[in-house]
């Protein structure tokens, strides 16, 4: 039985944590920028462009009235015929009015349609931003704590009184030898008798 866990993947966990932090540092600003772009576009359509082209239409409509009034006055006068410039002024003013009314029509259309098309996608982006800001941030904290815990565990020294593994060679000497022999059913060697010792002297 192993005395401690064999931890071999700590570097892999550290690498994954670093890669996750780098990914979040790039992904979160991108998602936030997308959300900001959607809001800016909505404001651009609803406020800036609508006010711009409503003002343009009023301005060119007034220019059309003025050009037509000048052309009419010229026709009613017995002094001269309407000039080409006066006639072209009316044409240009009418073209500008048609252009402004077309733009304003498009703005009103997108003012109605933009929320319908953008809001479902905007909700998905907001959900993704929530995942990055909460779930992924918690994952980084969890991985950090995991690394700290595993490093502390790996630094723990094995117990000094651990039992030897089965089959390991154990050297037995001195009194331990007698105890071991007795336990195995083998009689311990007796001291030589006095007669035997005397016989050796003969």
Helix (H) or strand (E) holding 103: helix 84-130
Average pLDDT over residues 13-22: 92
Q: Which residue has the higher pLDDT, 29 or 172?
A: 29
- C-alpha of 197 from chain center: 92
Given a cut of 60, is residue 112 above it in pLDDT? Answer: yes
pLDDT of the residue at 105 = 93
Helix axis angle for 50-76 and 84-130, nearest 10°, is 170
Do 131 and 20 contact (CB within 8 A), yes or no?
Answer: no
Read off the pTM. 0.54
Q: What is the mean pLDDT of the chain?
A: 77
């Amino acid at each position: 039985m192993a005395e401690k866990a064999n931890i071999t993947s700590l570097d892999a966990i550290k690498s994954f944590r670093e890669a996750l932090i780098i990914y979040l540092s790039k992904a979160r600003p991108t998602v936030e920028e997308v959300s900001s772009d959607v809001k800016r576009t909505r404001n651009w359509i609803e406020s800036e462009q609508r006010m711009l082209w409503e003002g343009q239409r009023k301005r060119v409509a007034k220019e059309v009235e003025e050009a037509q009034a000048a052309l009419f006055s010229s026709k009613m006068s017995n002094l001269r015929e309407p000039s080409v410039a006066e006639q072209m002024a009316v044409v240009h003013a009418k073209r500008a009015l048609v252009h402004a009314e077309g733009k304003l029509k498009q703005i009103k259309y997108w003012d109605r349609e933009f929320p319908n098309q953008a809001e479902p996608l905007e909700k998905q982006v907001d959900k993704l931003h929530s995942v990055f800001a909460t779930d992924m941030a918690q994952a980084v904290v969890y991985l950090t704590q995991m690394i700290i815990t595993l490093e502390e565990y790996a630094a723990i020294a094995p117990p000094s009184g651990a039992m030897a593994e089965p089959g390991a060679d154990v050297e037995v000497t001195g009194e331990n030898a007698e105890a071991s022999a007795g336990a195995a059913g083998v009689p311990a060697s007796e001291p030589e008798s006095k007669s035997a010792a005397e016989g050796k002297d003969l």
